Amino acid sequence: SQTIHQWPATLVQPVGSPLSLECTVEGTSNPNLYWYRQAAGRGLQLLFYSVGIGQISSEVPQNLSASRPQDRQFILSSKKLLLSDSGFYLCAWSVWQSLATNEKLFFGSGTQLSVL
């Protein structure tokens, strides 16, 4: 069966420090991968998605970047964190071009990031 691992669960970082959040998927090949974020009082917002190794699409301009060095690995990074980067970050995966892709969007357990 497929599983998605995301870590750490919580993270407190000072402003200006770097960030690296990692997500890995097991039990499937060539998944679509996503990073979502929920800021305080807001809905989950799609930040990045990837349909293959090295292929990253950004949905919103921001201080963050994403990379996909391996088929089932997705990394969210920042060189210098801002206060506004605080939020709940979720990694997700889906089956490529599935007719029922929406139902097949599987989420990790999330990382609560606090930038102080």
- Give residues in contact with another protein (CB under 8 A): 4, 6, 9, 32, 34, 36, 38, 41-46, 49, 51, 59, 90, 92, 94, 96-98, 101-110
- Residue type for position 41: G
Residue with smaller CB distance to another protein, 11 or 51: 51
Whether 76 and 21 have beta carbons less than 8 Å apart is answered as: yes
Least Å distance, CB 108 to another protein, is 5
Helix residue ranges per DSSP H, 27-85: none
Cβ proximity to another protein, 4 vs 75, nearer residue: 4
d(CA 111, CA 76): 11
Q: Are 115 and 85 in contact (CB under 8 A)?
A: yes
- For another protein, the closer of residues 24 and 94 by Cβ is 94
